[in-house]
């Protein structure tokens, strides 16, 4: 059988119309998670907070001891019957019955016995894709947004709806979108492209080979493990960063087109590989500033600069496992047979690992398969894991359904240690410091250049002013000299003239005049020099000011250089401190490992001591010590502590062990104890014993039935009523016990209990007991005479579906007995059900939405219609139209055939149909 991709093309024939640019280091887009406020985590020491876990007992030590214990959550989803099952299994009831309000699933062994299992969530065939996502995957997605790893996985038989649940893209109907599309949509909606990033890888595990669904040529990807932490990575896988929902949908469409699928008898598009979607989320976390503060109480600029940003890294893994299948049912042959073998081997390896983890085994065979290696963090590791198991209703596949249910039950016992992966972004801090340093250097160079330009400008201006002052001084000096020289010459001329006149008289005066002229010349020179000296002094002052400014600028530059050096020293000191703290963490991890070993030894010793104590107690009991005054108290204590802690086989084993050790008579004697709690626990034990057919005869012979009926009449406790009625319902499945119940007034007691009870579960148990009694042909008149039918119809006041289903079953059993008596030739009148007014309720619920109610009511109508005396009442009550509908539209062929045969064989019905001009028969 040839393998094909999802789009129907053969391998190697896929053509990508829209090229996408991606590689392992793609940085074209990023986005940020705006998640709900996460749990505050102290990280003031600057350590990288990360941890790794494994599916097995990994030898790598965790980097951080802080963690939250989280059990693997398991949900079960029931697929509705398909077209083939509606035809082939029409005569058989579903092998699975769901009780979503109690989160329980019943797997039928036969028509009267079933096993009950409890899950975290139970999803019916009517559950929407949105409901499935919110219950199964949304809590995991929210954890991923808060920084925890998460896994969502689907497991089940081929054709039960795993790929529909996880990988449905919803191109035509958005309501049909699966978990993958909705998870990516929520993550994108809660992120910001400015600060966060998301990257996606899409792989398939086919025949123990990891292939890239985003790049089909990359068909042999190796698994790498970190020897220190044990983290598993796929460095060869294609990683694409996304920023919008449309891109993510296109990636899923591309990957889905490359996935292997084949046509088998169980599924026309059976997945032949395990699909693994990995979504890596990287978020930046805004925290308050650290304690670096200045003296005035405000956060300093240095503290803000040196505070590294915190980032949280998380990974969401969505795993669509290939379905398990039996070769004889799937019809696989040739290459498809080899694919099925590989799928079953990897699923078997996964089941072995989960068994080992559930049983706390010392060895977990995680390396038996690549699938278990890839999922080592999902089971027993650090991821929050949610598993959805898918089952079908067909009784032909009961074995596969039971195997799937037990896989889910074992997975619920696996506990993971959820750890936050948080670290400082030192690269971002380094880039920020480099940018700041470049800005400081550029500012310093700019200031230096401005200072040099200012000094040069001031020097040029001063030189210009000096030259101008010198020129002005020289010009003024020359003018004064010429003026004084001219005056001197004129004075000389006058003096010569005077001397000529007064040569003799003025000799001494001439000398005096010359001295005065010389003194006058010197004084004028000093006065002219005064303004020039003042300008030179101003220039010198300006030069001194500029020199001081330059020295201040140089001092500021030196201060900045010292600050940069101090920052570098502080960074080196922080790195040293980080190394010391990491060393301390490693030492504490070693110490923790030693303590865990000591705790394991002490636990082993405690188990040994407990075992020896039990052996000693049993020996003392065999020697007769239990026959003393404390025997009854010991028995009461053992019954009180017999609380069922686990559902299923574990509870039955513990009840059977108590039955063997204590004895039935002693347990029944506690039904009359004065302590109400003792009576409650004792009646629960009796009810569990009555569920086994092998114990019922012993219980009745020992007087257990009488004790249970006495409790119904004497006790006022609602719990005792509920459990006792359930035990009586189990005993009423035997015909001999039914007669004993009637003889001892059981119907009256059950009817009285039904009239008083308000709890739906109590009413369900009472209705179940009466419904079993309704199936006995010999007891019908007495059952009706003692008010059994009235009590059964009175319980419809509780509109709970389970109660109504038991009422409908009782009515169907009663009508069947009447029909059987009529067929055997017994002459009877109108149906007692019609006399007691049951017909309106039967007609009203003939098309009830709940399938068990509708199926029983349809059977009741068909059996009532087989007796001709009831025909007129049924026509007047509107039952004829329901019979016509059942004969045409009923999903079960046997009921449809019975309705058609009844309509065609009844003259009264035929006459009415003819009157209404309905051609039938």
Please give the annotated binding residues for ATP, written as ranges.
Answer: 156-163
Instruction: Note whether 832 and 780 are within 8 A (CB).
Output: yes
670/702 Cα distance (integer angstroms): 13
- Cβ-based burial of 756 (10 A; exposed 0-12, middle 13-18, buried ≥19): exposed
Instruction: Note whether 131 and 177 are within 8 A (CB).
Output: no
Cβ neighbour number for residue 422 with a 10 Å cutoff: 21
Cβ neighbour number for residue 857 with a 10 Å cutoff: 28
For residue 266, report the phi and psi dihedrals to the nearest 5 degrees.
-90, -25
- The string over 194-218, giving b where at least 16 C-beta atoms fall within 10 Å of a residue's C-beta and e elsewhere, is ebbbbbbbbbbbbeeebbbbbbbee
- Cβ-based burial of 915 (10 A; exposed 0-12, middle 13-18, buried ≥19): exposed
* Of 347, 350, 322, 349, the residue nearest 336 (C-alpha): 322
State the DSSP string of 506-545: THHHHHHHHHHHHHHHHHHHHHHHHHHHHHHHHHHHHHHH
714/709 Cα distance (integer angstroms): 9
Q: Tokens representing 367?
A: 């390396």
Bridging pattern class, strands 274-285 and 197-206: antiparallel
Bridge partners (DSSP) of residue 401 are none
Half-sphere exposure of 777 (CA within 13 A, CB side): 11
* Of 116, 157, 136, 132, the residue nearest 73 (C-alpha): 136
Cβ neighbour number for residue 134 with a 10 Å cutoff: 12
Bridge partners (DSSP) of residue 78 are 391
For residue 606, report the phi and psi dihedrals to the nearest 5 degrees.
-65, -40
Cβ neighbour number for residue 227 with a 10 Å cutoff: 9
Q: CA dist 563 to 42, 60, 451, 560, 752, Å?
A: 30, 42, 21, 5, 91
Cβ-Cβ contacts under 8 Å for 65 (sequence gap 6 or more): 588, 589, 592
Per the listing, tokens 């026959």 go with 627
116/109 Cα distance (integer angstroms): 11
789/831 Cα distance (integer angstroms): 12
* Of 823, 846, 753, 745, the residue nearest 792 (C-alpha): 753
Instruction: Note whether 121 and 104 are within 8 A (CB).
Output: no
Instruction: Note whether 325 and 337 are within 8 A (CB).
Output: no
- In sign, the C-alpha dihedral spanning 739, 744, 748, 753 is negative
Q: Tokens representing 124?
A: 């019916």
């Amino acid at each position: 059988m040839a393998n094909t991709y999802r789009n129907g093309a053969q391998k190697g024939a896929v053509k990508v119309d829209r090229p996408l640019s991606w590689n392992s280091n793609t940085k074209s887009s990023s986005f940020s998670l705006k998640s709900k406020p996460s749990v505050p985590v102290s990280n003031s020491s600057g350590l990288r907070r990360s941890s790794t876990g494994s599916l097995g007992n990994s030898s790598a030590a965790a980097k951080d001891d802080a963690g939250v214990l989280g059990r693997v959550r398991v949900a079960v989803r029931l697929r509705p019957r398909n077209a083939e099952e509606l035809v082939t299994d029409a005569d058989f009831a579903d092998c699975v019955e769901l009780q979503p309000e109690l989160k329980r699933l019943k797997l039928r062994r036969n028509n009267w016995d079933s096993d009950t299992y409890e899950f975290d969530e139970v999803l019916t065939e009517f559950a929407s894709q949105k409901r499935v996502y919110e219950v199964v995957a949304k809590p995991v997605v929210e954890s991923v947004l808060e920084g925890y790893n998460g896994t969502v996985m689907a497991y089940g038989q081929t054709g039960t709806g795993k790929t529909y649940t996880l990988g449905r893209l919803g191109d035509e109907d958005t309501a049909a979108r699966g978990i993958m599309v909705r998870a990516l949509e929520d993550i994108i909606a809660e992120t910001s492209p400015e600060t966060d990033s998301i990257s996606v890888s899409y792989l398939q595990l086919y025949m123990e080979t990891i292939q890239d669904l985003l790049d089909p040529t990359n068909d042999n990807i190796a698994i790498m493990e970190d020897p220190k932490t044990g983290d598993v990575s796929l460095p060869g896988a294609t990683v694409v960063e996304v920023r919008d929902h449309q891109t993510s949908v296109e990636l899923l469409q591309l990957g889905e087109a490359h996935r292997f699928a084949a046509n088998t008898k169980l599924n026309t598009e059976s997945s032949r590989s395990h699909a693994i979607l990995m979504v890596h989320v990287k978020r930046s976390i805004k925290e308050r500033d650290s304690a670096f503060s200045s003296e005035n109480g405000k956060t300093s600029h240095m503290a803000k600069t040196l505070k590294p940003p915190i980032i949280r890294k998380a990974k969401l893994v969505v795993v669509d496992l290939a379905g398990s299948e039996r070769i004889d049912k799937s019809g696989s042959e040739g290459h498809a047979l080899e694919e099925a073998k590989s799928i079953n081997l990897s699923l078997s390896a996964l089941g072995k690992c989960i068994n080992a983890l559930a049983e706390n085994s010392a060895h977990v065979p995680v390396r038996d398969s690549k699938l278990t290696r890839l999922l080592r963090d999902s089971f027993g590791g650090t991821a929050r894991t949610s598993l959805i198991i898918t089952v079908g209703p067909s009784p032909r596949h009961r074995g596969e359904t039971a195997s799937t249910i037990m896989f889910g039950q074992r997975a619920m016992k696996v506990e993971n240690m959820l750890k936050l992966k948080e670290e400082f972004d030192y690269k971002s801090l380094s880039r920020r410091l480099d940018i700041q340093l470049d800005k400081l250097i550029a500012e310093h160079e700019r200031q230096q250049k401005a200072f040099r330009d200012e000094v040069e400008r001031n020097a040029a201006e001063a030189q210009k002013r000096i030259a101008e002052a010198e020129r002005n001084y020289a010009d003024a000096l020359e003018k004064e000299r010429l003026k004084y020289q001219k005056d001197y010459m004129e004075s000389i001329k006058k003096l010569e003239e005077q001397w000529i006149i007064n040569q003799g008289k003025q000799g001494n005066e001439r000398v005096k005049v010359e001295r005065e002229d010389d003194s006058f010349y010197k004084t004028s020179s000093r006065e002219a020099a005064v303004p020039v000296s003042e300008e030179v002094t101003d220039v010198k002052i300006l030069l001194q000011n500029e020199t001081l400014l330059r020295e201040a600028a140089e001092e500021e530059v030196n201060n900045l250089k010292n600050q940069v050096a101090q920052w570098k020293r502080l960074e080196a000191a922080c790195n040293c401190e980080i190394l010391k703290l990491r060393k301390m963490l490693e030492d504490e991890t070693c110490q923790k490992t030693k303590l865990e070993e000591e705790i394991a030894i002490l636990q082993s010793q405690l188990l040994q001591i407990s075992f020896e104590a039990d052996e000693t107690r049993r020996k003392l009991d065999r020697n007769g010590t239990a026959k003393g005054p404390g025997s009854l108290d010991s028995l009461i204590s053992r019954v009180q502590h017999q609380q069922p802690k686990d559902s299923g086989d574990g509870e039955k084993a513990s009840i059977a062990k108590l039955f063997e050790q204590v004895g039935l008579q002693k347990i029944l004697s506690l039904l009359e104890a004065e302590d109400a709690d003792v009576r409650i626990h004792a009646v629960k034990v009796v009810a569990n014993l009555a569920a086994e057919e092998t114990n019922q005869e012993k219980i009745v012979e020992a007087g257990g039935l009488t004790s249970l009926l006495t409790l119904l009449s004497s006790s006022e406790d609602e719990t005792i009523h509920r459990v006792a009625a359930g035990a009586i319902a189990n005993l009423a499945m035997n015909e001999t016990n039914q007669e004993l119940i009637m003889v001892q007034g059981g119907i009256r007691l059950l009817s009285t209990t039904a009239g008083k009870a308000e709890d739906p579960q109590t009413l369900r148990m009472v209705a179940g007991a009466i419904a079993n009694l309704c199936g006995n042909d010999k007891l019908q008149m007495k059952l009706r005479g003692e008010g059994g039918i009235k009590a059964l119809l009175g319980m419809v006041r509780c509109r709970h579906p389970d109660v109504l289903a038991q009422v409908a079953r009782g009515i169907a059993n009663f009508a069947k007995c009447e029909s059987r008596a009529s067929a055997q030739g017994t002459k009877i009148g109108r149906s007692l059900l019609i006399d007691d007014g049951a017909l309106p309720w039967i007609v009203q619920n003939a098309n009830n939405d709940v399938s068990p109610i509708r199926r029983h009511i349809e059977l009741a109508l068909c059996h009532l219609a087989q007796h001709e005396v009831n025909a007129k009442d049924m026509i007047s009550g509107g039952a004829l139209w329901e019979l016509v509908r059942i004969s045409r539209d009923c999903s079960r062929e046997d009921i449809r055939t019975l309705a058609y045969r009844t309509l065609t064989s009844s003259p009264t019905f035929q006459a009415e149909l003819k009157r209404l001009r309905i051609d039938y028969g």
